[in-house]
Chain A
Amino acid sequence: MSLLEIREETVGYSGATVLRDLKLTIEAGDRIALVGESGSGKTTLLNLIHTRLGDAAALVPQELGLVQALSVFHNVYMGRLHQRSVWRNLRNLFLPAKVDVALVRPVLERLRLEKKLFTSVGELSGGQQQRTAVGRALFHPGDILIADEPVSAVDEHQAREILAAITADKPTVILAMHDRALAIKFADRLVGIRDGAVVLDAPAAGMKPSDLDDLYRNVEP
């Protein structure tokens, strides 16, 4: 039985159609990379998948969704807010409990962010903020992770580390990526979108970045 089956004629918001004739099946254990030009509909598809999967999936939106005034610890801890009692959460807001700090720290160590544990997110660089958002998703207890360009603001080396951490932690991963080489390396299934339609759905094994050129060619001359 599949994790998720999407069959939609059209998907869009406020009257505008973004995706057409959408047929996509996601199996548990899939590592999918969505590839395609910016504006092709990747974000819309990710949001649709997230809506369908609900709370089981952790999300790293493109705009990260961090609370600037709170520390890295708090932002990462937020991945499990729904599992804790409200009173525990309120207490942790003012006085982080040792137990919870101990749970969050290893996540940050893997993302090389442990030194910033109690720094407010507003003081971090763009790359550090992105890693914080990934940390929140990793801390989320769900088995599925959905991320929209999760490594766009970090260097190549860190991008590999982050993607390795994501794929090691979460059995099912759906990422929107613009870096084709990284997409082929870390995903086992590539879904290509062009102009609002899924035009490619194939295993990543054996693919070369140049095989994806079609996706990026202008439709109109």
Chain B
Amino acid sequence: MIARPEPSPLARTTITFVGIAFVCFVFADVAITTVDPWQEFRLLLIGIVTPDFYATDSVALSIGYTLAFAFLGVALSNVLGLFLALLFFSRIVRTFCAIIRAVHELFWALIFLQLFGLSPLTGVLAIALPYAGIIAKVYAEILEEADPAPLKTIPGGTSLLSAFIFVRLPDAWAHFRSYSMYRLECGIRSSAVLGFIGLPTLGFHLETAFKEGRYSEVSALLILFYVVIASMRTWMKRPLIPVYLIGAAVILPWGVSFSFDNIVRFLTEDIVPHPLRSGAGWDALWDWLYLMVFEQAVPGTIATVQLTMIALVATGFLTIVLFPLISPLLLGKASRFCGHIFLVVARSTPEYILAFILLQLWGPSMLPAIIALTIHNGAIIGHLIGRYTETVSLRQDASKGLNRYAYEVLPRVYRPMLALLFYRWEVIMRETAILGILGIATLGFYVDSAFADLRFDRAILLIAITALLNICVDAISRSVRSRLRLQTSLKQQ
């Protein structure tokens, strides 16, 4: 008789995370508080099927602004990111990049809003800065993976720059290009969401239209948004990039002025803890810190972690349900076509917009945030895993239907799926914090309230704590992935 072995590390990790998420869920507030959620939902559905593209001129303009911020932000971040990637051997640069990318673009926007007001600079920098941190890391990894063999073949005395341009860059260039395309797609989503804090992008009009119950306009805005993202590969051509960049620079309303004094005051006074600024002494500083930590940072962090864990595990569950929708191993062509459309819509809708819509329908609780994070991220990973199954070939006599799913397909994709899921853990956490701006008690809620009260010292402290939390989760995720030998590159499987 052979003893059954211990559960595999993969199974153990799964059980642990499901357990944690379950405990988090037990303590979560997931009530639906609106009086008649389905009435509003019915109205929304009616609006969705009757889109009104001529509601206002603002529809086209808001898409234009959304693209303009994305173009300029992503272009700037590419330049900055490549430059930083070249300096990535330095620990200072690596730390700097980790910090700027740990702060969500919406938080950056809230900060830049204090510095530059509603000037386009706010939106462009809010996208460019965190993206530069991400791009630097990715480009540095790409450069590192470039084949080192040709370096040995170039003649001695070749300058570092020529060696770089002739040997390292050509290899990496194709990767840079495809990653930039992906970043641009993210940039368009981020840019749309920036509207929720007052920039003239899609989110701004979406919020107004939604709050006034003009659901046909909401529908038109969203449909245009999906079409723009889904058709990206057809209009995003290399020769057109300068045209787009110049166009973007021209249409943005640069006229908004900002005062230099304001910037100096924000950086040297406003963000200094209030007791220090007013010279109230150490006791006052202690009280300030005590208040910040125990009444805001700790409850905010607990809610953020709680929501993140629930969303992470729920995303995993949704992924294994969604990926078959586009998998040629499991479904026919017609069904896959519908699956593709569903996944494009689900992953193109930013979590923030989904959460906003659900919050209007169900009232404030963790539920809208959980559902929004799960749908968006589940669709992203489901899409990647579905595509991955295209490369899996089964034996000729493999079983069919649910048996095939459970025995042939799921075991083969489980490992890459966990890799992607843990890879996205940090992204989910960053997004969870942000959803606080909508009124869910995660860290973003406290940050947003601090900005609203013009208590910038508090806001900056809370943003720093949020960034720290993201960096921690990133480190935990990396250690889990390396312990389980999970590779993020799907080709490795």
Contact = CB atoms under 8 A, between A and B. Distances in A.
A176 interface: no
Contacts of A82: 399-400, 403
A47 B403 contact: no
Interface string B242-255: 00000000000000
A141 interface: no
Given A69-B412, A81-B399, A117 B2 contact: yes
Of A47, A67, A115, the most chain B CB neighbours within 10 A belong to A67
Contacts of B401: 86
A114 B399 contact: no
Given A50-B396, A59-B395, A114-B2, A69 B407 contact: no
A55 interface: yes
B403 A81 contact: yes
Given A58-B397, A65-B398, A89 B407 contact: yes
A118 interface: yes
A55 B2 contact: no
Nearest to A53: B397
Interface residues of B, number: 22
B290 interface: no
A69 B411 CA distance: 6
Contacts of A61: 395-396
B411 A86 contact: no
B412 A89 contact: no
B396 A59 contact: yes
B5 interface: yes
B407 A55 contact: no
B4 interface: yes
A168 interface: no
Given A89-B406, A118-B4, A68 B412 contact: yes
Nearest to A117: B2
A22 to B, nearest CB: 19
Given A58-B397, A81-B399, A120-B8, A90 B412 contact: no
Of A57, A63, A81, the most chain B CB neighbours within 10 A belong to A81
Interface in A13-48: 47
Contacts of B415: 69
Contacts of B400: 82
B396 A93 contact: no
A70 interface: yes
B173 interface: no
A70 B407 contact: yes
B399 A47 contact: no
A74 interface: yes
Of B397, B403, B411, the most chain A CB neighbours within 10 A belong to B397
B394 interface: yes
Nearest to B404: A81
A187 interface: no
Contact of A67 (B5, B397, B403, B408): B408
B2 A115 contact: yes
B414 interface: yes
Interface in A53-87: 55, 57-59, 61, 63-65, 67-70, 74, 78, 81-82, 86
Nearest to B411: A69
Interface residues of A, number: 29
Interface in B1-53: 2, 4-5, 8, 10
Nearest to B403: A81
B402 interface: yes
A5 to B, nearest CB: 21
Of A47, A58, A93, the most chain B CB neighbours within 10 A belong to A93
Nearest to A116: B2
B372 to A, nearest CB: 30
A69 B415 CA distance: 8
Of B395, B400, B402, B412, the most chain A CB neighbours within 10 A belong to B395
Contacts of B408: 67, 78
A124 to B, nearest CB: 14
A90 B406 contact: yes
B407 A47 contact: no
A51 B403 CA distance: 20
Given A67-B408, A69-B411, A86 B403 contact: yes
Interface in B374-415: 394-403, 406-408, 411-412, 414-415
B407 A78 contact: yes
Given A69-B414, A117-B2, A118-B2, A74 B407 contact: yes
Contacts of B412: 67-69
Nearest to A59: B397
B402 A86 contact: yes
B360 to A, nearest CB: 39
A64 B408 CA distance: 13
B408 to A, nearest CB: 6
A63 B397 CA distance: 13
Contacts of A69: 10, 411-412, 414-415
Contacts of A90: 402, 406
A162 B254 CA distance: 79
A102 to B, nearest CB: 11
Contacts of A63: 395
A47 B403 CA distance: 22
Interface string B181-218: 00000000000000000000000000000000000000
Interface string B402-445: 11001110011011000000000000000000000000000000
Nearest to A105: B2
Of B396, B401, B412, B415, the most chain A CB neighbours within 10 A belong to B396
Contacts of A119: 5
Contacts of B414: 69
Given A59-B397, A69-B414, 13 more contacts: A50-B396, A61-B395, A64-B395, A65-B396, A65-B397, A67-B407, A68-B412, A70-B411, A74-B411, A78-B407, A86-B403, A89-B403, A90-B406
23 contacts: A47-B396, A51-B396, A55-B397, A59-B396, A61-B396, A64-B395, A65-B397, A65-B398, A67-B407, A67-B412, A68-B411, A68-B412, A69-B10, A74-B407, A74-B411, A78-B408, A81-B399, A82-B400, A82-B403, A86-B401, A86-B402, A86-B403, A115-B2
The 8 residue pairs across chains A and B that have the minimum distance between CB atoms: A65-B395, A69-B411, A81-B399, A59-B397, A81-B403, A86-B402, A70-B411, A67-B411
